[in-house]
Structure 1
Amino acid sequence: MSFLDRIKKCNNVDDLSKFIPFVVEGARVGWIHHEFCHVLKKFDHIFEFFEKKICLSPQLLTYQERTMAIDRVVKFLAEEGWIAQRSDELYPVSTGYYATPFFEMDRSAISRFGVSAHGIHINGFVSLRNEIFMWIGRRADDKSTYPGQLDNMVAGGQPVGLSLLDNILKECAEEAAIPPDLARKAKAVGSITYQYEENNCLKPDTMFVFDLELPSDFNPINTDGEVAEFKLLPVSEVMSITANTTAFKFNCAAVNIDFFIRHGLLLPENQDYIEIQRGLHK
């Protein structure tokens, strides 16, 4: 195993032709697997079906009309087991983070429609005795996605109606009991993009990455039940776990690798260095 293996895991889409474009007002907003298309034909008043694309009906003219129509589809998909139960966390559906959204969709259905999701990932670290230590979370065993896997200190999707800063403050409070004054010190250090396929669902996602250096006497405490425990580990140990195991959630491993590069711990002498860098920005 290697760091490059972790990056390849994030970008495991080998054949995009298995998916058909999902189009709204002439713009592609997602990708739908061919084997899932027949499920949507029940809703021929909401979707239009063509040989090479599926379009949202042009009869749905407004943001609210589209959102309500898609919500009916999402309820059906949850009832029939095509997606997880609704999360009641709504994501914008658009051509990109800075574009005006066409409508919003429950988070549980986003990857089924191959819509690009965005999120924040915060590396919490401490400098002790000239060495970096990282706060690592372990996801709760009852989480619906990737239970028990290791995670970045704070991470969460970017829902409708919140700025990145507002989301940082919310997620820091919920996941690690980080007070606002401290959470505001999180530094934006870049973004990571990837294309991940799982169970005929596509995640062409973007993570906004932040570093937060914490006082040595601070201990994160989970408040929303989504994290089983936190551990403060030497960065050398985090590097070993990331490279040699699959203990980290797939995209959190990529956030770790980005941290190692930026902090001069993973160097160009590594023969995979250039390919790793490319893989962080698919």
Structure 2
Amino acid sequence: MQKQSKVWGGNSAAAAASLVERVKSLDRSSELKKQYTPIVIQPHVVGAAQNRLISTLLECNSTQHGGSVFFQDRIPNSRGEYVDVLRFTIDQAIVRGEEKTVDGHISNRSNEELLSCELDSLTDFLIRREIIADRHADLYPLRPLERLKDIDDERPTLALVNRNVAPYLGMDSLGVHLHCYQKEGPIIKLWLAKRAPTKSHHANMLDPNVTKEAYEEAGVPSEWIRKANPKFSDLTHDPITINTSKADGSCMKHSIYYSCDLEVPRSWRPRAVDGEVEEFLSYTMNELEHELRYGTAVRPSMVAVLVDFMIRHGQLKMGNDDEEILRKAMRNERLSLF
């Protein structure tokens, strides 16, 4: 299939030439901050809901106790200022030490299980309201968001939530990307995956090769993805961190993108195994830079991921862009709402 590139920002090349501008446009958190209310599981902030969604969330009833899953509250933050928040009704009972009852019977389930059940009720509710299409097979851990700089798995898991619901709760979004590239002298070509048209988000748009299931999705031999392989580089210690949202301002969250690079043989071709990828396209660095500056074939957040790849390999013609400013624009702290 021939590669096509639509012009970003109109027909003016000058409007799209600054990669700093383009990367910074991914983060609208300053503009959207007032449109969001923190979600609290005492004493932790776990996410944020867009204000226009709150009235809908308050209509969600629990399958455990029959009452509302959420209620609105006003509590002091760390600075002693009272802030409007959204809380789980069952969490209020847990904090007060009240008996945990389900259908009139005392429950011996953990707080994590009780909260996970509430989020399961929310999943069904959002499907009925057609806010999400269906359930995803993956469950995400709901964790505190207070730690702004440390990105790790040491934070306690408070509950489990369906992957399709997580963006509407403002939870951290994690992505791991494997950049499969081929090198011939100074020339580098990068394989990009075109998402299948059946994907619910950004269908038919381009991604770096996904590593979560590298073999299933791209046919990458598992033995290549080893730290002992000199052609494999693990860059997960330096993730890209951006506060992202949908075009309409919904689903604002802290997006964390981990990257790995893998130099593959020039004779190797990726293959779409499990249907999540329609096809793979090979880009030279000149073609990729033109797409990142002027095109719309690459899904928005992946612009930053690919710019970072080009910087690492010394392949980006900076022009008016300052590399240090660009790197900082791709590594923002989580927005604090509480």
Would the TM-score normalized by the shorter structure come out above 0.5? yes
The residue number in structure 2 matching 1:187 is: 233
Q: Secondary structure at the match of 2:260?
A: strand
CA RMSD of superposed structures (Å): 1.8
The residue number in structure 1 matching 2:245 is: 197
Shift of 1:193: 0.8
TM-score (norm 1): 0.89
- For 1:1-282, what aligned pairs fall within 5 Å after superposition? 1-2=16-17, 3-13=19-29, 14-42=31-59, 43=61, 45-51=68-74, 52-56=84-88, 57-58=90-91, 59=93, 62-95=111-144, 97-98=152-153, 99-154=155-210, 168=211, 170-184=212-226, 185=229, 186-189=232-235, 190-198=238-246, 199=248, 200-266=250-316, 270-282=320-332
% identity of equivalent residues? 25
Look at both structures and tell me which one has the larger radius of gyration over its CA atoms.
Answer: 2
Report the Cα distance in structure 2 between the residues aligned to 1:257 and 1:36, rounded to whole angstroms.
34
Shift of 1:268: 6.1
Mean alpha-carbon deviation: is it higher for 5-14 or for 25-34? 5-14
Q: Secondary structure at the match of 1:108?
A: coil
Q: Which runs of 4+ in 1 moved over 6 A?
A: none
Shift of 1:84: 2.9
Shift of 1:281: 0.5
What letter is aligned with 1:105? V
The residue number in structure 2 matching 1:164 is: none
Check the 8 A contact 2:20/2:321 in 1, yes or no: no
Report the Cα distance in structure 2 between the residues aligned to 1:268 and 1:192, rounded to whole angstroms.
19
Report the Cα distance in structure 1 between the residues aligned to 2:262 and 2:320, rounded to whole angstroms.
26
Shift of 1:72: 0.9
TM-score (norm 2): 0.75
* CA deviation string 1:157-197 (max 9, x = no partner): xxxxxxxxxxx4x5101210111101234422120111112
The residue number in structure 2 matching 1:162 is: none
Report the Cα distance in structure 1 between the residues aligned to 2:144 and 2:320, rounded to whole angstroms.
36
What letter is aligned with 1:183? I
Q: Secondary structure at the match of 1:83?
A: coil
Shift of 1:272: 4.1
Distance 1:65 1:26, change over 3 A: same
Check the 8 A contact 1:83/1:112 in 2, yes or no: no
Shift of 1:267: 6.0
Check the 8 A contact 2:58/2:69 in 1, yes or no: no
Q: Secondary structure at the match of 2:234?
A: strand
* CA deviation string 1:225-265 (max 9, x = no partner): 11111122211111111111121011111111001111122
The count of aligned residue pairs is: 268
Distance 1:228 1:9, change over 3 A: farther
Q: Secondary structure at the match of 2:199?
A: coil
Check the 8 A contact 2:177/2:258 in 1, yes or no: yes
**What are the ranges of 5 or more consecutive residues in structure 1 without an aligned counterpart?**
155-167
What letter is aligned with 2:208? N
**What are the ranges of 5 or more consecutive residues in structure 2 without an aligned counterpart?**
1-15, 62-66, 75-83, 95-109, 146-151, 333-338
Report the Cα distance in structure 2 between the residues aligned to 1:269 and 1:94, rounded to whole angstroms.
41
Shift of 1:6: 3.1
